[in-house]
Amino acid sequence: MTNRKCTKDVEATVNDAAKDIADTAKAELSASGETVKDNAAHRAEQEAEQMRRAGEAFDGNPFAREAAHHIAENLSSAAHALREADLSSIQHDVADFARRNPLVFFGGSAAVGFLAARALKASERAEPATVSQHRLPDQSARAEWGQS
């Protein structure tokens, strides 16, 4: 075997391995993207349902009730569109929007990041307390209250 043939064989092997790695990464990224897409659609549908219930609470204010129902329908439509769209078309649409409206895109991204940080911070505070975190009154406190 000549050096040239050996080099070409190694090059072909490396290229095949690189292609396999790229294909695997693309498949995994696509699968995780689908999961994120499905989770976002599910969350939008949950928010739509909450908005519908909130709209029912506005019995005395038909304008507020109608606005809440309109928002709920828009969220539900967005959830449906998200479920039906493929990842490449979503990516293309987002990239087009970002090119046409960079200030709105980056402002919206910053707002989403801020809201996500607040939600994470709030969820940390809202963790349920365990029994060990609750203090029961000791004997001296019971004596002060006239209990034994």
Q: What is the pLDDT of residue 29?
A: 67
Going residue by residue through the chain, which has 148 residues, state the pLDDT in tens, using 9 for 90 and above. 577 777 777 777 877 777 677 667 667 666 677 788 888 888 889 988 988 988 888 888 888 889 888 988 988 888 888 888 888 888 888 899 889 998 988 888 888 888 888 878 877 776 555 545 555 555 555 555 555 5
* Token pair in block for residue 16: 């095949």
Q: What is the pLDDT of residue 99?
A: 92
Q: What is the pLDDT of residue 114?
A: 84
Q: List Cβ neighbours of 66 (8 Å cut-off, separation of 6 or more).
A: 55
Cα 37 to chain centroid distance, Å, stands at 8
Angle between helices 102-125 and 87-100 (to 10 degrees): 120
**Comparing C-alpha atoms, which of 36, 32, 74, 33 is closest to residue 52?**
74
Question: Can you give the residue ranges of every domain in the chain?
Answer: 1-85, 86-126
* Token pair in block for residue 10: 């190694």
Full-model pTM: 0.48
